[in-house]
Amino acid sequence: MLSTQWDFVTSYVRARFGDTERGASLVEYALLVALIAVVCIVAVTFIGTSGSDKLNKVGSSINK
C-alpha cells in the first residue's frame, strides 16, 4: 500500500515539475529564430549596399 502511494506521489511530482523539456525546446527554437533573423538582416544590408552601387552604375551607363 505504501509503495503504491509513493509511486503515485513520485509520478505526480515528475509530471508536474520535472522531466519535461518543453521549456528547453522553446528556448532553442527562439535562439534559432533570432539567429536566422540576424543572418537575414546582415545579408539584406550587404546585398542592398552592393546592389545599389551596381544599379547606379548600370543606370548611369544607360543614360550616356
pLDDT at residue number 33: 95
CA distance 54 to 43: 16
pTM, rounded to two decimals:
0.48
DSSP reduced 3-state for 28: helix
pLDDT, one tens digit for every residue, the chain (64 residues): 556 776 777 777 676 666 555 666 788 899 999 999 999 999 888 888 778 888 888 888 887 6
HSE of 60 in the Cβ direction (CA atoms, 13 Å)? 6
